[in-house]
A and B are shown apart, each in its own frame.
Chain A
C-alpha cells in the first residue's frame, strides 16, 4: 500500500516579513501587507520542498487542499494530487488550515507536511497534537518553533526519508510549537509562549562509525541528564522545574505529576506546585534556598524569556545566578551551531547578570561550557 503524504500550504505565510510587518496573523494586517506590495513566500518555498519529493511520486499518494493551499504547487511540480475540501479563493483563514489537518488526520496520512510559520504550526498542532508525524516547510516571518526543517530543501529530503522508511538514522522527536503574541510583537514587546509539541522526523547528523564509542540517542541522553540532576538534588532546597521535554524527564523519573508547558516545583523530591505563575513562584521561594532548572527552548537558544516567562526577572534575581541549572542534550546544543545561549527576562540588569559562561548538563556527569550572550 502506498504511503499517504498530507500537504498543506498556508498561502499567506511570510507575507509580512519583507514589508516589515512582523507576521500576518489577522485579516487587517494581511490587507495592509497586500497594500504594501507583499507577495506570498509559501508557494515558492513549498515548491522547492515538493521538487525534492517528486522522485518518489509513484510510491505515494499526495493529499492536499484546493488551489493555493497546496493543489497549485503540487500540480506545478508534476504531482497528480488527491484534492479534498473547499476554500474561498484568496480568503483563506486559520480555520482552513485546521480543517485540512483534521481531514488529513482522518484519512490516515503517514506524514503531514505543512508550509508556513509559527501560526501555521499552532493551527496544525491544535488539530493533530502528536498523533501523527508532521513537518514544517519554513516560510513564515517568525520561526520560533522547532518543528520546521532548516530549509525547504531539507524539508523535502526529510519527507522522502520518512516516507521511504528505510533511511538510516531517521528518528521522530517531539519538537516545540512556539509562537509570540503578534500584537505585542508589533508594539515591540516580545511575549513568546510554548504551545505544545509536534512529532517531527529528523535525520541524525550521522551514524557514528564502528571504531568509536557509542552514539548519543536523544532519549537515553535526556534520561541521563535527569539522573544527574536528581543525583545532585539537595533535600533542603526548592527546585523550580521549567517547561519542556528535557525538564519533564526529571519529574517523570521522580514519579511526580507535572505540566509539560508550565512551571512546576519540587522540594525534598516531593511535588510542591504545578503550573505555577510568577506570584506563586515568588511566594514559594520565600525563606528557602531555591534552584531553577531550565532547558534550551526551541531552536534559537533561549533559556529564559521564551516559553517560561513565569520564571521572571524577579524570580531569577531572588534565586541567584549560581543556583541556575541549565540542561540540554548534545543534539540541542549542536543545533545552535556555535551560537551562544540567549536570555530575555525583560530586565536588562538580570540579563547582564546571566551573561558569561555556564556549565550546561548534557549527560550523567557530563557538562558542556556554553556562553550566555548579554
Chain B
C-alpha cells in the first residue's frame, strides 16, 4: 500500500525547563494575604484556634516560593513542551482511550453552580447536582444491567479496589472470608485486577492465555475451589479479542461460590451491544473518562463508576444519592456499607460531563460510537498490517473490537529497531508516543493503538503513515530511529532510572535525600 499522506514537519519548543522546586527564591510570593481587619478579628477570633493543635504545623512547609508570572510562565513552558491530547492525533494510548471531550461540557463544568458549591452545603440548595448524579446512575444501570452505582472512586483502579473490598465484605457477611482468600484474574486483564485484590489481602491467581489468546479455561476450572472469592477480568482483553465463552468462565466461578467482576474501564467496543448482566457478572465498572468523555485525571480527578447487583448494593460506599419522589438526598444511613472511600460525593465535574455527553449522544449515539470505534480499529489494523515489520499475535483472522495488540518483533529481528525505538521516533512527526502494553514481556515488541470514535479516516491514515515512515527508516537508516527523538523538547533519555529504586525519587525531598546519600 503506497502512502498518499503528506507527513507534517514538527518540532516542539525547547525550554530546558527546570523543576519548579529549583526555581524557588526565598521570600518571593505570588499572593500577599492581607492582615485581617479588627472587625473581623473580633467576630472570628484567632484563626489558628480553628485548627486542632495536633494538626498545626510546627514549621513552615517547604513549598517553592515564586511570583505569579513565574508560575504562569513555568506551566506554559511545560504545556508547550508536551504533546497534549488537543495537539495531536492521540490514537496512541490504547487501553486508555483518548476520547475528545466536547468544549461545551468544559464550560458547563466551570459554571459556578458546579465549580463553586461547597461540599457541606445544605442538600436543599444542591438539588440539581444531586439529580444529575442520580440520573447518571440510572443511565449506567441501563447500559450495564447492574442495579446500583457508586461514583465515589477517583479512578478505575480505585473502583477495582472497591470491588476487592466488596468481595471481602460479602464473604465476611457469609462467614466464609477465612476460607475464601483467592481471587482469579487473567494476565491480559488490566494489572489493577491483580494488584487491588492483592492489596485487599487476597492471594491472586493469574491465568495465562491459551494458543488462541483467550485465558485458559481449563486452568480456570483447575483454579476454582472453595477458596475462590471471585474472578476479576476484562473482556475484550488488551488484545482486543472478544471472548465469546465468557459466560462459561463466570459459571465456573459461580459454581464454587465466587463472585464475578467485569472490568469494563474501557467499554468502547461493546457499549450498547452487550451488557455485564447478561454475561452473568455480579459487578462491573466504567472509567468515565475512557468511555463517556472527560479529561483523563491521572489518579486524581477522574471517576471509576462502580455498579453491582442488588445483593451487593448494601456494601457500596457512602453516601449514595436517594430520591423519595420529591427530593434528592445524600444517604449515609447504610449500616453494611464499606464506609467512606473518598471525600464527599466524588468528582462531580466528571459526572456532569458524562451526564451531558450521554444526553447529547442519546441511546442510538452510544451504540453508533461503539460501532465507529470497532470500524476505525479494523480499518487502522488493515493499514498497519501492510507495514513491513508489523505482525499481530493470536487469532489473526478474527475481527478485533476496540484495539489490537500488534508486535514489531519482526522489525526488531530484521533491523535491530524495537518498539521502544519506534515509539521515540514517531514523536518526531507530531504524534504522541504509543502505549506498548501493560505486560510487554508476553507479546514481544508490542504496541497498542486505539482509534476510538473521536478519530476520522484521515486521522487513521496519518497515524498509520507515521508508522510506515518509521518502519521504512528502520530498514534503510536505522540510526535515525535508534537516536530519536530529534524534534521533541527532550531527546533520548536513559530509561534505566525508571525501574531502579536506588535512583528514582517520587518527591523533591526524597530526591534531595538520595542526592545527599550518594555524595
Task: Return A357 CB to nearest CB of chain B, in Å.
Answer: 4
Task: Return B253 CB to nearest CB of chain A, in Å.
Answer: 14
**Contacts known (A168-B494, A168-B496, A209-B435); A334 close to B440, Cβ less than 8 A:** no
Instruction: Give the residues in chain A near B420, CB-CB below 8 Å.
Output: 168, 206-207
In the complex the two chains form, is A205's CB within 8 Å of B444's CB? yes
In the complex the two chains form, is A367's CB within 8 Å of B205's CB? yes
Per-residue contact bits, chain B 202-234, to A (CB 8 Å; 1 contact, 0 not): 111111110100001011101100000000000
Interface membership of A235, Cβ < 8 A? no
A369 to B494, CA, bound (A): 35
In the complex the two chains form, is B495's CB within 8 Å of A207's CB? yes
**Contacts known (A334-B441, A366-B206, A370-B208); A207 close to B498, Cβ less than 8 A:** yes
A204 to B440, CA, bound (A): 10
Instruction: Give the residues in chain B near A80, CB-CB below 8 Å.
Output: none
In the complex the two chains form, is B499's CB within 8 Å of A215's CB? yes
Interface membership of A25, Cβ < 8 A? no
Instruction: Give the residues in chain B near A367, CB-CB below 8 Å.
Output: 182, 203-206
Per-residue contact bits, chain A 76-100, to B (CB 8 Å; 1 contact, 0 not): 0000000000000000000000000
Per-residue contact bits, chain A 332-374, to B (CB 8 Å; 1 contact, 0 not): 0010001000000000000000001101001001111111000
In the complex the two chains form, is B208's CB within 8 Å of A338's CB? yes
Interface membership of B320, Cβ < 8 A? no
Instruction: Give the residues in chain A near B194, CB-CB below 8 Å.
Output: 366
Question: Which residues 423-477 in B have Cβ within 8 Å of A in the complex?
Answer: 435-438, 440-442, 444-446
A87 to B416, CA, bound (A): 36
**Contacts known (A166-B494, A169-B495, A357-B222); A365 close to B444, Cβ less than 8 A:** no
**Contacts known (A168-B494, A210-B498, A217-B499); A366 close to B204, Cβ less than 8 A:** yes
**Contacts known (A168-B496, A334-B442); A357 close to B218, Cβ less than 8 A:** yes
Interface membership of B341, Cβ < 8 A? no
Task: Return A249 CB to nearest CB of chain B, in Å.
Answer: 18
Q: Which of A204, A209, A215 has the most CB of B within 10 A?
A: A209
- Interface class of chain A by DSSP: loop
In the complex the two chains form, is B195's CB within 8 Å of A213's CB? yes
Instruction: Give the residues in chain A near B441, CB-CB below 8 Å.
Output: 204-206, 330-331, 334
Instruction: Give the residues in chain A near B419, CB-CB below 8 Å.
Output: 206
Task: Return A336 CB to nearest CB of chain B, in Å.
Answer: 10
Task: Return B434 CB to nearest CB of chain A, in Å.
Answer: 9
A362 to B195, CA, bound (A): 13
**Contacts known (A365-B202, A365-B203, A366-B206); A157 close to B416, Cβ less than 8 A:** yes
**Contacts known (A205-B440, A209-B435, A212-B191); A369 close to B495, Cβ less than 8 A:** no
Task: Return B442 CB to nearest CB of chain A, in Å.
Answer: 7
Interface membership of B101, Cβ < 8 A? no
Interface membership of B391, Cβ < 8 A? no
Instruction: Give the residues in chain B near A205, CB-CB below 8 Å.
Output: 440-441, 444
In the complex the two chains form, is B223's CB within 8 Å of A369's CB? yes
Interface size on B, residues (CB 8 A): 45
Chain A residue at minimal CB-CB distance from B496: A168
- Out of A168, A338, A365, name the residue touching B204 (CB < 8 Å): A365
Instruction: Give the residues in chain A near B206, CB-CB below 8 Å.
Output: 362, 366-369
A370 to B435, CA, bound (A): 28
Instruction: Give the residues in chain B near A157, CB-CB below 8 Å.
Output: 416
In the complex the two chains form, is B436's CB within 8 Å of A357's CB? no
Task: Return B438 CB to nearest CB of chain A, in Å.
Answer: 5
Chain A residue at minimal CB-CB distance from B218: A357
In the complex the two chains form, is B198's CB within 8 Å of A357's CB? no
Per-residue contact bits, chain A 212-256, to B (CB 8 Å; 1 contact, 0 not): 111101000000000000000000000000000000000000000
Task: Return A244 CB to nearest CB of chain B, in Å.
Answer: 21
Interface size on A, residues (CB 8 A): 33
Instruction: Give the residues in chain A near B445, CB-CB below 8 Å.
Output: 206
Interface membership of A208, Cβ < 8 A? yes
Instruction: Give the residues in chain A near B223, CB-CB below 8 Å.
Output: 357, 359, 369
Task: Return A358 CB to nearest CB of chain B, in Å.
Answer: 8
Interface membership of B177, Cβ < 8 A? no
Interface membership of B96, Cβ < 8 A? yes
In the complex the two chains form, is A369's CB within 8 Å of B207's CB? yes
Interface membership of A211, Cβ < 8 A? yes
Instruction: Give the residues in chain B near A330, CB-CB below 8 Å.
Output: 441
In the complex the two chains form, is B208's CB within 8 Å of A369's CB? yes
In the complex the two chains form, is A206's CB within 8 Å of B436's CB? yes
A215 to B496, CA, bound (A): 12
Per-residue contact bits, chain A 136-173, to B (CB 8 Å; 1 contact, 0 not): 00000000000000000100010000000010110000
A358 to B442, CA, bound (A): 20
A359 to B224, CA, bound (A): 11
- Out of A206, A209, A369, name the residue touching B216 (CB < 8 Å): A369
Chain B residue at minimal CB-CB distance from A55: B416
Instruction: Give the residues in chain A near B182, CB-CB below 8 Å.
Output: 367
Instruction: Give the residues in chain B near A359, CB-CB below 8 Å.
Output: 205, 223
Task: Return A353 CB to nearest CB of chain B, in Å.
Answer: 15
Instruction: Give the residues in chain A near B499, CB-CB below 8 Å.
Output: 207-208, 214-215, 217
Task: Return A91 CB to nearest CB of chain B, in Å.
Answer: 38
Per-residue contact bits, chain A 188-215, to B (CB 8 Å; 1 contact, 0 not): 0000000000000000111111111111
Task: Return B256 CB to nearest CB of chain A, in Å.
Answer: 15
In the complex the two chains form, is A211's CB within 8 Å of B203's CB? no
- Out of B96, B198, B494, B496, name the residue touching A211 (CB < 8 Å): B96
Instruction: Give the residues in chain A near B219, CB-CB below 8 Å.
Output: 357, 369-371
A366 to B96, CA, bound (A): 25
A338 to B219, CA, bound (A): 13
Chain B residue at minimal CB-CB distance from A154: B413
Instruction: Give the residues in chain B near A213, CB-CB below 8 Å.
Output: 191-192, 195, 438
A356 to B494, CA, bound (A): 44
Task: Return A132 CB to nearest CB of chain B, in Å.
Answer: 22
A210 to B436, CA, bound (A): 10
Instruction: Give the residues in chain A near B216, CB-CB below 8 Å.
Output: 369, 371
A206 to B436, CA, bound (A): 9
- Out of A153, A206, A356, name the residue touching B222 (CB < 8 Å): A356
A157 to B440, CA, bound (A): 19
Chain B residue at minimal CB-CB distance from A334: B441
Instruction: Give the residues in chain A near B435, CB-CB below 8 Å.
Output: 209, 211
9 closest A-B pairs by CB: A357-B222, A206-B440, A369-B219, A205-B441, A168-B495, A367-B205, A215-B499, A365-B203, A207-B495
Give 15 new A-B contacts, CB below 8 A, not counting A206-B436, A369-B216.
A168-B495, A168-B496, A204-B441, A206-B437, A207-B495, A209-B436, A217-B499, A357-B222, A365-B198, A366-B206, A367-B206, A369-B207, A369-B220, A371-B218, A371-B219
Q: List 18 A-B contacts (CB under 8 A).
A: A157-B416, A166-B494, A204-B441, A206-B418, A206-B420, A213-B192, A213-B195, A215-B499, A334-B442, A357-B219, A359-B205, A365-B201, A365-B203, A366-B194, A366-B198, A366-B204, A369-B222, A370-B208
